[in-house]
Amino acid sequence: MTDTQIIAPVPAKAETPFAQFRAEFFESKIAVGALITLGIVVVLALLAPWITPQNPYDLAQVDVMDARLPPGEEAFSGYTMWLGSDGSGRDLFSAILYGLRISLAVGVASGVIALFIGTFVGLFAAYVGGRVETLIMRFVDLQLSFPASLVALMLVALLGKGVDKIILALVVSQWAYYARTVRATALVERHKEYVEAAICLGLSKARIMFRHILPNCLGPLIVVGTVQVASAISLEATLSFLGVGLPQTQPSLGVLIANGFEYMLSGRYWISVFPGLALLLTVVSINLVGDHLRDVLNPRMKK
């Protein structure tokens, strides 16, 4: 052998891990359907001020004469209330879209904040190890042994009403899930050979943790993240339904359901049922997307 020349197969196209993941995700029709539904829900919520016939919180636009109109009835001011109106004359379609805005915002905000805190704590625990790790993880265990709704309920009872307080309560009751997931994944990754190789390159510990281990933990983290956002949304609805969540001036879906609840027995089902359906649709589609993400990202579930 005079000179080593090897002919390497050039990959047909630069297929990034992301492209691979995308192709696998789009194999499932249910997941794609759920993703599209979720997309529509999010777009409707975002565009609420421009597509609703009424701003349900502008008292000048709400007419008590329109109260409790059944679905499809024409309102006093001329437009059709396709989903009916609630006890104070608000158009339910508009109220639901505005409520979705708040529910989604609260769910995503608390989910993202909890993700950052949980990831940092979990990674820190895996990084320092020893007693500090044990201490942190036992605290996480302790918190996870309480139902999330109980923790959130206690906190809201202490803190009072308000969007910021609800978000805080949701973050406190959910960060531990992320911490546990990240720490477990990081521990597995830490003993892989590429980490040893990185140590042999003389990279700093922090760099190895954040640059090498964290990206490899993203799979499980994304899955837990989507599921937790869905559960944050339903948890917020639960709190609001119980009357300890968001105030009447910022009605989320939970508040709308609670408002209509008293009319259920008198046959005016729509005031509660339509917000409930909207909530169901949102949470189920997020969960379906999350489920399928787990199937795609978990190597053990691969065919």
User: Contact residues for other proteins (CB under 8 A)?
Assistant: 1, 4-11, 14-17, 192-194, 196-204, 207, 211-212, 215-216, 218
* Ranges of H-type helices in 129-269: 130-144, 148-159, 163-190, 193-200, 205-207, 214-241, 253-261
Q: Any bridge partners for residue 80, and if so which? A: 74
273 in Cβ contact with 84 (< 8 Å):
no
- Residue closer to other proteins by CB (options 72, 129) is 129
- Residue closer to other proteins by CB (options 183, 212) is 212
- Residue closer to other proteins by CB (options 51, 211) is 211
- Residue closer to other proteins by CB (options 7, 64) is 7
96 in Cβ contact with 275 (< 8 Å):
yes
Q: How far is the CB of 296 from other proteins (least distance, A)?
A: 15
Q: How far is the CB of 299 from other proteins (least distance, A)?
A: 11
Rounded to whole angstroms, how far apart are CA atoms 65 and 238? 30
Please report how the helices 253-261 and 92-128 are oriented relative to each other, as an axis angle in degrees rounded to 10. Answer: 130
Q: How far is the CB of 13 from other proteins (least distance, A)?
A: 10
Provide the token pair at 75.
């309102």
Q: How far is the CB of 8 from other proteins (least distance, A)?
A: 6
Q: How far is the CB of 197 from other proteins (least distance, A)?
A: 4
**Which residue is it, tokens 């500090």?**
132
- Residue closer to other proteins by CB (options 161, 190) is 190
**Which residue is it, tokens 């009357």?**
243
